[in-house]
Structure 1
Amino acid sequence: MRLITIKRETKDEQRHTPKMGALSTKVTYIKKQFLNIPFKTIHKYRETYYGKIKDCEHCNLAR
Protein backbone atom coordinates (compact mmCIF):
# COMPACT_ATOMS: atom_id res chain seq x y z
CA MET A 1 0.00 0.00 0.00
CA ARG A 2 1.36 3.39 -0.98
CA LEU A 3 1.10 6.21 1.50
CA ILE A 4 1.85 9.07 -0.89
CA THR A 5 0.22 9.14 -4.33
CA ILE A 6 -0.11 11.70 -7.14
CA LYS A 7 -3.50 12.30 -8.77
CA ARG A 8 -4.48 14.34 -11.83
CA GLU A 9 -7.96 15.89 -11.89
CA THR A 10 -9.63 18.04 -14.57
CA LYS A 11 -12.57 20.34 -13.95
CA ASP A 12 -14.29 23.26 -15.66
CA GLU A 13 -13.62 26.73 -14.23
CA GLN A 14 -14.41 30.33 -15.01
CA ARG A 15 -11.15 32.25 -15.51
CA HIS A 16 -10.42 35.86 -16.41
CA THR A 17 -7.63 36.96 -18.74
CA PRO A 18 -6.65 40.59 -19.35
CA LYS A 19 -6.84 40.27 -23.15
CA MET A 20 -9.91 38.04 -23.59
CA GLY A 21 -12.00 38.81 -20.49
CA ALA A 22 -14.16 36.00 -19.07
CA LEU A 23 -13.13 32.52 -20.14
CA SER A 24 -14.62 29.09 -19.44
CA THR A 25 -11.87 26.46 -19.62
CA LYS A 26 -10.82 23.05 -18.36
CA VAL A 27 -8.14 23.28 -15.68
CA THR A 28 -6.02 20.25 -14.76
CA TYR A 29 -4.68 19.97 -11.22
CA ILE A 30 -1.83 17.66 -10.23
CA LYS A 31 -2.12 17.00 -6.50
CA LYS A 32 -0.06 15.06 -4.00
CA GLN A 33 -2.12 12.89 -1.64
CA PHE A 34 -1.36 11.23 1.67
CA LEU A 35 -3.73 8.31 2.41
CA ASN A 36 -6.11 9.63 -0.30
CA ILE A 37 -6.32 13.06 1.35
CA PRO A 38 -4.97 15.85 -0.90
CA PHE A 39 -2.50 18.09 0.88
CA LYS A 40 -0.49 19.88 -1.82
CA THR A 41 -1.11 21.10 -5.36
CA ILE A 42 2.04 20.48 -7.36
CA HIS A 43 0.99 22.11 -10.65
CA LYS A 44 -2.09 23.41 -12.44
CA TYR A 45 -2.43 24.15 -16.13
CA ARG A 46 -5.07 24.76 -18.76
CA GLU A 47 -5.45 23.91 -22.42
CA THR A 48 -6.33 26.73 -24.81
CA TYR A 49 -8.83 26.60 -27.65
CA TYR A 50 -5.97 26.01 -30.10
CA GLY A 51 -4.49 23.09 -28.14
CA LYS A 52 -1.61 24.90 -26.43
CA ILE A 53 -0.86 24.18 -22.79
CA LYS A 54 -0.57 27.26 -20.55
CA ASP A 55 0.21 27.75 -16.89
CA CYS A 56 -2.66 29.11 -14.78
CA GLU A 57 -0.52 31.92 -13.36
CA HIS A 58 -1.25 33.94 -16.52
CA CYS A 59 -4.96 34.27 -15.74
CA ASN A 60 -6.94 35.12 -12.60
CA LEU A 61 -10.13 33.70 -11.16
CA ALA A 62 -13.24 35.47 -12.42
CA ARG A 63 -14.92 37.66 -9.83
Structure 2
Amino acid sequence: MKLITIKRITKQEKRYTEEMGMLNARVTYIKQTFLNIPIRTLHSYRETYYGEVKDCCECVLSR
Protein backbone atom coordinates (compact mmCIF):
# COMPACT_ATOMS: atom_id res chain seq x y z
CA MET A 1 0.00 0.00 0.00
CA LYS A 2 1.40 3.37 -1.03
CA LEU A 3 1.19 6.14 1.52
CA ILE A 4 2.06 9.04 -0.79
CA THR A 5 0.40 9.16 -4.21
CA ILE A 6 -0.01 11.72 -6.97
CA LYS A 7 -3.48 12.35 -8.43
CA ARG A 8 -4.65 14.35 -11.40
CA ILE A 9 -8.06 16.05 -11.07
CA THR A 10 -9.82 17.97 -13.87
CA LYS A 11 -12.75 20.35 -13.31
CA GLN A 12 -14.50 23.28 -14.98
CA GLU A 13 -13.66 26.74 -13.60
CA LYS A 14 -14.39 30.34 -14.51
CA ARG A 15 -11.17 32.19 -15.33
CA TYR A 16 -10.45 35.80 -16.28
CA THR A 17 -7.82 36.91 -18.78
CA GLU A 18 -7.06 40.41 -20.00
CA GLU A 19 -7.39 39.44 -23.68
CA MET A 20 -10.58 37.35 -23.59
CA GLY A 21 -12.38 38.38 -20.40
CA MET A 22 -14.34 35.70 -18.49
CA LEU A 23 -14.15 32.17 -19.85
CA ASN A 24 -14.95 28.65 -18.72
CA ALA A 25 -11.89 26.43 -18.88
CA ARG A 26 -11.02 22.87 -17.96
CA VAL A 27 -8.36 23.17 -15.27
CA THR A 28 -6.22 20.17 -14.33
CA TYR A 29 -4.60 20.00 -10.90
CA ILE A 30 -1.77 17.62 -10.06
CA LYS A 31 -1.92 17.04 -6.31
CA GLN A 32 0.22 15.06 -3.89
CA THR A 33 -1.86 13.06 -1.40
CA PHE A 34 -1.07 11.22 1.81
CA LEU A 35 -3.65 8.49 2.58
CA ASN A 36 -6.11 10.19 0.16
CA ILE A 37 -5.77 13.54 1.98
CA PRO A 38 -4.39 16.27 -0.33
CA ILE A 39 -1.10 17.69 0.94
CA ARG A 40 -0.18 20.22 -1.75
CA THR A 41 -0.72 21.14 -5.37
CA LEU A 42 2.32 20.38 -7.50
CA HIS A 43 1.11 21.97 -10.75
CA SER A 44 -2.05 23.32 -12.37
CA TYR A 45 -2.69 23.99 -16.05
CA ARG A 46 -5.60 24.72 -18.34
CA GLU A 47 -6.57 23.93 -21.89
CA THR A 48 -7.63 26.78 -24.20
CA TYR A 49 -10.34 26.72 -26.84
CA TYR A 50 -7.66 26.16 -29.48
CA GLY A 51 -6.18 23.09 -27.77
CA GLU A 52 -3.13 24.83 -26.31
CA VAL A 53 -2.02 24.00 -22.78
CA LYS A 54 -1.21 27.01 -20.59
CA ASP A 55 -0.05 27.46 -17.02
CA CYS A 56 -2.67 28.80 -14.60
CA CYS A 57 -0.34 31.52 -13.31
CA GLU A 58 -1.15 33.61 -16.40
CA CYS A 59 -4.81 34.22 -15.50
CA VAL A 60 -6.65 35.48 -12.42
CA LEU A 61 -9.43 33.43 -10.79
CA SER A 62 -11.97 36.25 -10.60
CA ARG A 63 -12.25 39.97 -10.97
Structure 1 runs (4+) deviating above 2 angstroms are: none
> TM-score, normalised on structure 1?
0.96
The residue correspondences of 1:4-43 to structure 2 (distance < 5 A) are 4-43=4-43
Partner residue, 1:51: 51
The unaligned stretches of length 5 or more in structure 1 are: none
> TM-score, normalised on structure 2?
0.96
Structure 1 counterpart of 2:44, which letter? K
Distance 1:20 1:52 in 2: 15
Deviation, 1:62, is: 1.7
Q: CA RMSD in A?
A: 0.6
Aligned residues: 63
Seq. identity, %: 63
